[in-house]
């Protein structure tokens, strides 16, 4: 089906003024998010590459809201999922749709013939295939519930038909979820993602959920790029998560511990780590460039991270 597919957005040109040595491959350029109305996506998620493209940081809040009554919420909802090949995903949207999609993708990754590594174009294809299949399943269920017809019956109707026009609105509404998967693919860090109404594509940075735009704007204000160190990137991500919550206090919760992925291992950085909290205070309203040159800060951040199975 092609009716529900929309054209993916293109990334912008690099900012002027950056040193020539900071030019990066096209696949690492930061995209400008073109998002549908995401008022129902009650969360925030961030995925980005850093440390010269050898690391990916994933962040999400821990707050979940019930679709029928957003006032009923809790602060301990898992939104980050471990997938095959050392990949991690962030989800935002209707819980049952997100869980079904992640299960589809995990199954496809388990069946991938090359167990040692996965190609980036294959990962994008598998994410898009799972998104498209889940979209068809969701649309079919919505039509059965609201129009008492199946998706196939709607396809066979004419454009002059009232049910066709109503069904077209369901198709155009898009899948009620947004998604990021990040990891090290063939030695380079990247994220694959889609927002409401978009097909899957890859880049160096993605933000999802109702707080995604606020987080993205802050990362752009900090001129975040793939050559920043892990320590400086974690500061900017923590700031972006704070900005997302300030913009949507009723919908975005406190951040869960950050996931830090390299080719050798995956670790977590406590969101409330004292060193990170001190950095948030020290660099509030100040340039953070000195972090990239501070061995003391780098060591403190490295020491604070832990492997998930060790705790």
Tell me the residue range of the domain where 216 lies. Answer: 26-61+75-125+174-306
Any domain includes 280: yes
pLDDT in tens, the chain (311 residues): 444 433 333 444 333 333 333 333 434 333 334 444 444 477 899 999 999 999 999 999 976 544 444 443 433 345 789 999 999 999 998 888 999 999 999 999 999 988 778 999 999 999 999 999 999 999 999 999 999 999 999 988 877 778 888 899 999 888 999 999 999 998 899 999 999 888 999 999 999 999 999 999 999 999 999 999 999 999 999 999 999 999 999 889 899 999 999 999 999 999 999 999 999 999 999 999 999 999 999 999 999 999 976 44
**Residue 87: inside a domain, yes or no?**
yes
DSSP secondary structure string for all residues of 82-151: EEGGGEEEEEEE-HHHHHHHHHHHHHHHHT-S-SS---HHHHHHHHHHHHHHHHHHHHHHHHHHHTSS-H
Which helix (H) or strand (E) is 64 found in, with range? strand 64-65
Q: How many domains does the chain have?
A: 1
In a domain, 14, yes or no: no
Tokens representing 109 are 């990754």
What is the C-alpha to C-alpha distance for residues 120 and 101, in angstroms, rounded to an integer?
Answer: 19
Tokens representing 23? 């030019």
- Report the run of H or E that residue 185 belongs to, with start and end: strand 177-185
Burial class (CB in 10 A: 0-12, 13-18, 19+), 115: exposed
Q: Flag whether 12 is in a domain.
A: no
Residue 266: its pLDDT value, please?
95
Check: CB of residue 228 under 8 Å from CB of residue 60.
Answer: no
Tell me, yes or no, if the pTM score tops 0.75: yes
Identify whether 131 is part of a domain.
no
């Amino acid at each position: 089906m092609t009716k529900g597919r929309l054209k993916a957005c293109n990334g912008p040109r690099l900012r002027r003024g950056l040193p020539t040595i900071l030019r990066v491959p096209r696949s690492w350029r930061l995209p400008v998010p073109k998002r549908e109305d995401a008022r129902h996506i009650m969360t925030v998620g961030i995925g980005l590459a850093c440390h010269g493209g050898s690391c990916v940081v994933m962040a999400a809040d821990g707050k979940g809201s019930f679709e029928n009554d957003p006032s009923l919420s809790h602060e301990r909802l898992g939104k980050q999922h471990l997938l095959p090949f050392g990949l991690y995903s962030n989800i935002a949207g209707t819980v049952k749709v997100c869980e079904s999609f992640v299960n589809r993708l995990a199954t496809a990754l388990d069946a991938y013939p090359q167990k040692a590594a996965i190609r980036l174009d294959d990962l994008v294809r598998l994410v898009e295939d799972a998104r498209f299949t889940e979209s068809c399943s969701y649309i079919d269920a919505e039509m059965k519930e609201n129009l008492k017809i199946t998706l196939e019956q709607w396809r066979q109707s004419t454009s002059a038909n009232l049910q066709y026009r109503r069904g077209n609105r369901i198709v155009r509404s898009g899948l009620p979820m947004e998604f990021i998967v990040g990891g090290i693919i063939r030695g380079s860090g990247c994220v694959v993602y889609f927002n409401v109404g978009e097909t899957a594509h890859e880049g160096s940075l993605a933000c999802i959920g109702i707080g995604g735009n606020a987080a993205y704007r802050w990362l752009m204000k900090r001129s975040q790029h793939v050559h920043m160190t892990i320590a400086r990137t974690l500061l900017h991500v923590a700031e972006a998560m704070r900005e997302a919550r300030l913009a949507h206090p009723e919908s975005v919760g406190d951040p869960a511990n950050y996931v830090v992925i390299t080719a050798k291992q995956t670790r977590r950085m406590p969101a409330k780590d004292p060193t990170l909290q001190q950095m948030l205070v020290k660099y509030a309203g100040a340039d953070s460039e000195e972090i990239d040159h501070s061995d003391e800060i780098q060591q403190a951040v490295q020491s604070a991270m832990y492997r998930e199975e060790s705790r």
